[in-house]
Structure 1
Amino acid sequence: MFHYFFLSRCVKWDSTGGKSGSAFLKTLDDRFIIKELSRTELEAFVQFAPSYFEYFAEALFHGLPTVLGKIFGFYQIQVKNSIPGAKSYTLDVLIMENLFYHRKMTRIFDLKGSMRNRHVEQTGKENEVLLDENMVEYIYESPLFVRENNKKLLRTSLWNDTLFLAKVNVMDYSLVIGIDSEKNELVVGIIDFIRTFTWDKKLESWVKEKGLVGGTGVGKEPTVITPKQYKNRFRQAMDRYILMAPGPYYQGPPPWYYPAWVIRALFTT
């Protein structure tokens, strides 16, 4: 009954940053997000779900660090039209956590660790989603630092999660980073982890790698890579995007080198 209550009280949500074309809804209290699954995503999720919930149970009961987005339920909604001759339809939806519940974000990034077509023109609109190249531009001016313990926790979480996703043949996921300037905090979570490395992706990867169609060229990476390659690239990129704050024994730039909001995060308790 809990999820049915929220499903009946939600509104359409225009999510930016994604290319799947899926419909999104958000509960009126902003706590949950409902995503429509395509037929391909549905088939992938049916295969993926048992491993996902087993992994989350292990993380919960054994205290293993994870930043994998939480899925709370899966439902199939059948809408029957009472008008004679009118078509009925079915929706397959996931209920997921809203990472930014009760928060106002200054910047939001959707990161995959790739520089290929990962830039958008900034409009200044509220909650616009920026990509990897935008992140590189941003941290050049305002590096993102976290405390040593948080950096280790994030690194361990990403290591655990990407190892799991690679084992179950999942790729093309993203790390969402939200900058909460009011609280001097970063909010992170891995999303879009449904798509598996199916035979069509394997074929596309092989063709691109061999340069048979629109070759990768010198210095370019293939648009489709294996889950293992994706995992390694993802880990390396996220480690570069978020840096460890200097501790008491750090030999480096003086405190005034860093942005004001980073200084407050580093030297307040």
Structure 2
Amino acid sequence: YPKDVPLDSDSITINGSTKSTGIPHVSVTAQGTGVLNSGIGDKTGTVGNRHIKIQFSDSTTNFYCCIYYAAEFFRLRQLLLPQGDTGFIRSLSRSFQWDALGGKSGSLFMKTRDERFVVKELSTIEMKTFHEISQQYFDYLIGAALEQRLCVLSRILGIFHVGFKNSLSGEAHRFDVLVMENLFHDRTQLAFIYDLKGSLRKRLVDESSAFKNSSKPSNADLPVTGQLSENRHTVVARGGSNVVECNQLDSDGSKRPPVLLDQNLLNASVDSPLYLRVHSKNALSHCLQVDTDFLANLFLMDYSLLVGVDLSTNQLVIGLIDYLRKFTFDKRMEMMIKQTITSVQGPPPTILTPDLYRERFLVQMDNYFPLVPDQWYDSLAEHAEAWLIRASPTPIASAAQPLFQSQVNSAKNIEH
């Protein structure tokens, strides 16, 4: 948006023409009833309309863009991106459509040419969810950035509504998109990528076909106990993309490994576990405890942990992804149906209440990444409560408890 448009204006409209681009009319409108800010410390909860609308047209087509939560995202980008909005805009100026075969939503995906950002089309439910949690999201992410606090939530850096209509052909398109950081930017030596939900139901990919068009690392390349270097298992806790790919080419022509799931990791862990040292295990456990507690208190679920195994740096690159899904009526119905048809001997259903989903997720993530054995291993494993940093769970608002209490009790009884 133009630099001469102040973000705290109640109503601003700018009209003009640009001969160099052939755009005869540009209209920028910032609407609001109060000063646009991050909302941190605002106890009133009334910030007004925080969106900026831009319309422009050429001889045949009208274009439209709405920048949702412009000031809040601007503040977040200033804290997270070294080049601020300048680099952000330059990256978005060149992008390409991208087949993210790791996703199942069927949404449109795009990537910027410099591989820094991923653009994902949002569903109506995801858009509604973000509007409902926007203030808590900005408070949490901006607070983490200001306090230099580790956070593994994938970082959404902008949400937009874009569209166009051709007056001659009548063709028109409108959709909501989010722009997020690409977790695997500048990571060219990823051996494996895992999308982990903590569930084993339908969480297995046929590796023979998945690696058909990509080179699979041998067991000698994987982290094993006897070959650990001093910094082999540093955990990089950063935000990232909620998009992964399978046998896709990057902009430089290099291939990414396919996306594997929970059961694939368990199968590989029989011979080559992903060991973590104490400090890395502590950091990962603490981040997951705190971030999933934040999500559960907002009744968010269905998230997963995206893990990239980088052999060039001996690091695990991680990020919590796909968390814009609330435990709504349709999710409760899906849970009840799955519980009805699931065999007693089979794994529990994927759909649980937010608290139960979080509990299962944390237990499984703890199992997926064991401590590296050393002379103190037995003592550490038996006294985890002495060295693990445990976040104190924040109680869910009492007003919301009666709505879900019966479902929580029912799910616990079935699970046990």
TM bin (shorter chain): 0.7 to 0.9
Deviations 1:20-49 (A, max 9, x none): 111111110001111110112111121122
Task: Confirm whether residue 157 of structure 1 aligns to residue 287 of structure 2.
Answer: yes
Unaligned stretches of 5+ in structure 2?
Answer: 2-84, 215-255, 380-416
Task: Confirm whether residue 118 of structure 1 aligns to residue 224 of structure 2.
Answer: no
CA contact (8 A) 1:180 1:186 kept: yes
CA contact (8 A) 1:65 1:160 kept: no
Task: Confirm whether residue 232 of structure 1 aligns to residue 324 of structure 2.
Answer: no
Partner of 1:101: 185
Deviations 1:170-208 (A, max 9, x none): 100010010001111110110101111111111222343
Deviations 1:105-145 (A, max 9, x none): 11000000000000111121332100000010111111111
CA contact (8 A) 2:307 2:317 kept: yes
Structure-1 separation of matches of 2:377 and 2:146? 36
Partner of 2:266: 136
Partner of 2:155: 70
Partner of 1:51: 136
Partner of 1:259: none
Number of residues of Structure 1 aligned to a counterpart in Structure 2: 248
Cα displacement (A) at 1:251: 5.8
Length-normalised TM-score, structure 1: 0.86
Partner of 2:8: none
Equivalent position amino acid for 1:221 in 2: P
Deviations 1:210-266 (A, max 9, x none): x2xx244334312311111110011011111112223553469xxxxxxxxxxxxxx
Pairs within 5 Å for 1:254-265: none
Partner of 2:348: 221
Structure-1 separation of matches of 2:347 and 2:205? 20
Structure-1 separation of matches of 2:366 and 2:348? 19
Paired residue secondary structure (1:243): coil
Equivalent position amino acid for 2:176 in 1: D
Larger radius of gyration: 2
CA contact (8 A) 2:371 2:377 kept: no
Equivalent position amino acid for 2:126 in 1: E
Of 273, 283, 298, the residue aligned with 1:168 is 298
Length-normalised TM-score, structure 2: 0.57
Structure 1 window deviating more from structure 2 (5-14 vs 102-111): it is 5-14
CA contact (8 A) 2:165 2:172 kept: yes
CA contact (8 A) 2:342 2:348 kept: no
Deviations 1:64-111 (A, max 9, x none): 321111111111111222424x23111211110111110121100000
State the Cα RMSD in Å.
Answer: 1.8
Paired residue secondary structure (1:110): strand
Unaligned stretches of 5+ in structure 1?
Answer: 253-269
Of 370, 380, 389, the residue aligned with 1:243 is 370
Structure-1 separation of matches of 2:160 and 2:357? 30
Structure 1 window deviating more from structure 2 (4-13 vs 180-189): it is 4-13
Structure 1 window deviating more from structure 2 (186-195 vs 8-17): it is 8-17
Structure-2 separation of matches of 1:250 and 1:235? 21
Cα displacement (A) at 1:163: 0.4
CA contact (8 A) 1:144 1:242 kept: yes
Cα displacement (A) at 1:4: 4.2
Equivalent position amino acid for 1:43 in 2: K
Give the share of equivalent positions with the same residue, in percent: 41
List structure 1 runs of 4+ shifted beyond 4 angstroms: none
CA contact (8 A) 1:72 1:96 kept: yes
Equivalent position amino acid for 2:172 in 1: S
Of 10, 15, 38, the residue aligned with 2:100 is 15
Structure-1 separation of matches of 2:374 and 2:183? 29
> Which structure dedicates a bigger proportion of its chain to helix?
1
